[in-house]
C-alpha cells in the first residue's frame, strides 16, 4: 500500500462549488503539506501543519482552507471553487530533522469549469 494516499485522483467541478481533497499517510510523520502544481511554476505551498494542533498558511493560501483531523489525515478545502484553481494538487509528509525527504502522494487533478 502507498505511504501517502490522496482522494479523489481526478475531479471536475463547477465554479462556486465546495470541494474537499483528502490526504492520508501511514509514515507516522507529524509534518504534512499541501501544494499545487501549475505548468512552469513548480510546486507552491498552500498550507502546512507540524502537528494536529498546528496549521499554517503557505505562500498561496487565499481561497483555500485545511483541516488536520488526526496525525495521519490532512484535508484541503476550496470553499467556492474558481477556474484559476484548476491545477494538480499534492499532499506531502516529512519527518522531523533538517534535509529530510518529503514523501508525496500521487496527486489530485482538479478542473474547475
Per-residue binder mask for other proteins (CB under 8 A), 41-70, x = binder: xxxxx--x-x-------x------------
β-pairing, 54-57 vs 42-51, is antiparallel
Sequence-ordered list of residues with C-beta below 8 angstroms from that of 111, at least 6 positions apart, any chain: 11, 12, 13, 86
Cα angle, residue 70 at apex, residues 110 and 43 outer, rounded to 5°: 35
For 71, the grid coordinates are: 496525525
With binding defined as CB under 8 A, does residue 1 bind other proteins? no
Q: Give the shortest CB-54-to-other proteins separation in angstroms.
A: 11
Which residue lies nearer to other proteins by CB, 70 or 99? 99
Among 53, 70, 84, 98, binds other proteins (CB under 8 A): 98
3-state secondary structure of 67: strand
- For other proteins, the binding residue among 87, 92, 110, 112 (CB under 8 A) is 92
Strand partners, 75: 67
Considering the complex, state which of residue 79 and residue 87 has its C-beta at the smaller distance from other proteins.
Answer: 87
Instruction: Supply the DSSP symbol for 100.
Output: P
Residues in touch with other proteins (CB under 8 A): 4, 31, 33, 35, 40-45, 48, 50, 58, 90, 92, 94, 98-99, 101-102, 104-107
Amino acid at each position: 500500500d502507498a505511504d501517502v494516499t490522496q482522494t479523489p485522483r481526478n475531479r471536475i467541478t463547477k465554479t462556486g462549488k465546495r470541494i474537499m481533497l483528502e490526504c492520508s499517510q501511514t509514515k507516522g510523520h507529524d509534518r504534512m503539506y499541501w501544494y499545487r502544481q501549475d505548468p512552469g511554476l513548480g510546486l507552491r505551498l498552500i498550507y502546512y501543519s507540524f502537528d494536529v494542533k498546528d496549521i499554517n498558511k503557505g505562500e498561496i493560501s487565499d481561497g483555500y482552507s485545511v483541516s488536520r483531523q488526526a496525525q495521519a489525515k490532512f484535508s484541503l478545502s476550496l470553499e467556492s471553487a474558481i477556474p484559476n484553481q484548476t491545477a494538480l494538487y499534492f499532499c506531502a509528509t516529512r519527518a522531523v530533522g533538517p534535509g529530510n525527504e518529503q514523501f508525496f502522494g500521487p496527486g489530485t487533478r482538479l478542473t474547475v469549469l
